[in-house]
């Protein structure tokens, strides 16, 4: 059956690709000051970033949000790192002007596990992203979007950008660094590359080195985007009437959703149900197809295809052992108490990945085995089972 265009996707043809990303002008940035609005997005100029694979991102900027007061000793800061297509909007506090709620409302906030009455929470949007940080859709110094000129970035480059943000904010040492999925890759890289700057670490549904199985699914998604005729080699921005590789990006998201949710959940939730009264054999659709369409189409409206390709590629090249004598040698460098959590039904980052982490990190708080969250929601469990994730994080944060 042909790909179904929902009303959402038809609307897209009228939206120039560059409008899908955030081009908020960059205001002057300084360290946090008492009275700064919680949850107000701010921007740090982090200078020219020379990336591992070669190339320089000139005049890079990281967008970030903060909640809670930074103590006079600057020793209560917690770094919260988002996953592949997340952003800095961890929560949407009353009075901040945000219409939408954040992705970890039940985890970060007053009196919650990451208690904003006690901690100063910093959440950046990763380098290469499209929610305020410099990425392919951002204008380069010459005023044109970076597009295909935006270099390949790695998890290490992204952590280097975060290190510069920490310096800009005057935070010498994080009380904790917390991340899920790709955010967990960043958290682990912090603990390995900057052990003296990390008080404790939480790695949720993450890994030490991306496996062949994960690289394979990433490669197919990149191919789905870059073989869309609208990709134009990555230089599809601001062309009149051109929506960019919307169909390829939606297809990539639909593929990705299969890894984010478990077989059991999809089977239980949708069974073989039809989306309408029309039998799929007679041209109707199964409910699960409609579900994937909705998520694919929605995604295209909020995410830049150029960023997607660069960030998925960054996940594929993730290997903490590169140049460090292998994964186990790198994990042995971690010296902060580290919480390793896997999700029982995760088919994308299976529990074996977290077993390798827990076995290799000498300071794993659960010893050589990870904590396994029994959940049917699959990989996205760390975004869905928020109360249970909060219960696991609370002891680590003290
Ligand atoms: C740290 C970070 O990564 S932050 C970024 C994470 N966020 C994202 O990835 C955004 C995309 N969203 C998601 O992936 C998910 O919504 C999650 C993981 C955040 C939460 O999952 P859930 O609450 O279980 O949402 P779920 O995947 O079931 O989707 C629900 C939507 O599917 C729709 N849906 C369900 N069945 C169907 C169907 N048969 N046909 C069409 N749509 C359907 C529902 O109507 C609902 O839409 P609504 O949001 O307008 O109410
Ligand atoms: N739903 C998450 C899963 C990746 O870990 C995201 O898109 O960021």
Is residue 175 flagged as an active site residue? no
Q: Is 253 annotated as a binding residue?
A: yes
Question: Which one is predicted more confidently, 41 or 147?
Answer: 147
**Dihedral sign, CA of 117, 119, 120, 124?**
negative
* DSSP codes of every residue in 30-65: ----TTPPTT--EEEEEEEEE-TTS-EEEEEEEEEE
Query: Domain of 283?
Result: 3-397
* CA 291–ligand 1 middle distance (angstroms): 9
CA dihedral 311, 312, 314, 318 (to 10 degrees): 140
Q: Summarize the confidence of residues 59-63 as an average pLDDT.
A: 96
Write the CATH number for 352.
3.40.50.1820
Q: Decide: 218 in ligand 2 pocket, CB within 6 A.
A: no
Q: Decide: 129 in ligand 2 pocket, CB within 6 A.
A: no
What is the rounded distance in angstroms from the CA atom of residue 95 to the CA atom of residue 244? 36
Instruction: Convert the pLDDT of each residue in 271-288 to its tens digit.
Output: 999 999 999 999 999 999
Q: Decide: 252 in ligand 2 pocket, CB within 6 A.
A: no
The backbone torsions φ and ψ at residue 109, rounded to the nearest 5 degrees and listed phi first, read 160, 175
How many Cβ atoms are within 10 Å of 302's Cβ, its own excluded?
Answer: 13
The predicted pLDDT at position 388 comes to: 98
The predicted pLDDT at position 34 comes to: 54
pLDDT band for position 239 (50/70/90)?
confident
Q: What is the pTM of this model?
A: 0.93
The predicted pLDDT at position 6 comes to: 42
Q: From the candidates 18, 88, 133, 181, which is the catalytic residue?
A: 181
Is residue 346 flagged as an active site residue? yes
The predicted pLDDT at position 187 comes to: 99
pLDDT band for position 31 (50/70/90)?
low
State yes or no: ipTM above 0.85.
yes
The predicted pLDDT at position 8 comes to: 40
Q: Please, which residues bridge with residue 57 across strands?
A: 49
Q: Which two tokens stand for residue 351?
A: 């529990």
What is the rounded distance in angstroms from the CA atom of residue 187 to the CA atom of residue 205? 12
Judge whether residue 350 has pLDDT over 60.
yes
Q: From the candidates 262, 346, 353, 364, which is the catalytic residue?
A: 346
Is residue 181 flagged as an active site residue? yes
Instruction: Convert the pLDDT of each residue in 315-342 to its tens digit.
Output: 999 999 999 999 999 999 999 999 999 9
Kind and range of the H or E run holding 123: strand 120-124
What is the rounded distance in angstroms from the CA atom of residue 380 to the CA atom of residue 346? 8
Total structural domains within the chain: 1
* CA 191–ligand 2 middle distance (angstroms): 22
List the residue whose alpha carbon is closest to atom 1 of ligand 2. 380
What is the rounded distance in angstroms from the CA atom of residue 169 to the CA atom of residue 76? 13
Q: Which of 294, 296, 307, 393 to mutate to test the pocket of ligand 1 (most atoms within 8 A of CB)?
A: 294
pLDDT band for position 92 (50/70/90)?
confident
Q: Summarize the confidence of residues 170-190 as an average pLDDT.
A: 98
Q: Which of 258, 260, 348, 379 to mutate to test the pocket of ligand 2 (most atoms within 8 A of CB)?
A: 260
Question: Which one is predicted more confidently, 41 or 368?
Answer: 368
Chain length of the chain: 398
SS3 label, residue 341: strand
Mean pLDDT over the full length of the chain: 91
Q: Is 319 annotated as a binding residue?
A: no
Q: Which of 81, 86, 252 to mutate to test the pocket of ligand 2 (most atoms within 8 A of CB)?
A: 86
Q: Decide: 84 in ligand 2 pocket, CB within 6 A.
A: yes
Q: Which of 3-17, 27-41, 125-139, 224-238 has the lowest mean pLDDT?
A: 3-17
């Amino acid at each position: 059956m042909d790909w179904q265009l929902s009303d959402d996707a038809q609307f897209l043809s009228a939206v120039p690709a560059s409008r899908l990303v955030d081009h908020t002008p960059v205001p002057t940035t300084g360290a946090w000051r008492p009275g700064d609005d919680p949850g107000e997005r701010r921007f740090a100029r982090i200078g020219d970033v020379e990336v591992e694979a070669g190339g320089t991102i000139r005049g890079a900027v990281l967008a970030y949000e903060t909640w809670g007061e930074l103590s006079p000793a600057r020793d209560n800061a917690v770094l919260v790192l988002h996953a592949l297509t997340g952003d800095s909007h961890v929560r949407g506090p009353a009075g901040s002007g945000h219409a939408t709620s954040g992705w970890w409302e039940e985890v970060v906030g007053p009196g919650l596990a990451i208690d904003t009455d006690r901690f100063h929470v910093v959440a950046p949007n990763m380098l290469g992203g499209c929610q305020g940080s410099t990425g392919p859709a951002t204008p380069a110094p010459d005023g044109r979007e970076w597009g295909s000129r935006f270099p390949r970035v790695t998890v290490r480059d992204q952590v280097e950008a975060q290190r510069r943000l920490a310096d800009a904010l005057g935070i010498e040492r994080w009380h904790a660094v917390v991340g899920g999925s790709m955010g967990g890759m960043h958290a682990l890289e912090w603990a390995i590359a900057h052990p003296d700057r990390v008080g404790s670490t939480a790695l949720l549904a993450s890994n030490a080195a991306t496996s062949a199985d994960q690289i394979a699914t990433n490669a197919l998604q990149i191919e789905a985007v870059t073989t869309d005729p609208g990709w134009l080699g990555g230089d599809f921005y601001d062309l009149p009437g051109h929506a960019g590789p919307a169909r390829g990006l939606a297809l990539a998201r639909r593929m990705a959703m299969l890894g984010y949710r478990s077989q059991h959940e999809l089977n239980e939730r949708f069974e073989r149900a039809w989306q309408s009264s029309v039998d799929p054999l007679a041209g109707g659709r199964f409910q699960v197809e409609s579900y994937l369409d909705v998520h694919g189409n929605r995604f295209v409206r909020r995410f830049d295809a150029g960023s997607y390709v660069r960030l998925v590629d960054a996940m594929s090249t993730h290997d903490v052992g590169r140049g460090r004598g292998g994964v186990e040698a790198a994990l042995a460098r971690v010296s902060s108490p580290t919480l390793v959590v896997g999700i029982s039904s995760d088919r994308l980052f299976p529990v074996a990945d977290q077993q390798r982490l827990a076995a290799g990190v000498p300071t794993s708080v659960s010893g050589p085995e990870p904590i396994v969250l029994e959940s049917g929601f699959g990989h996205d469990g760390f975004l869905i089972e928020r109360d249970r994730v909060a219960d696991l994080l609370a002891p680590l944060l003290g």
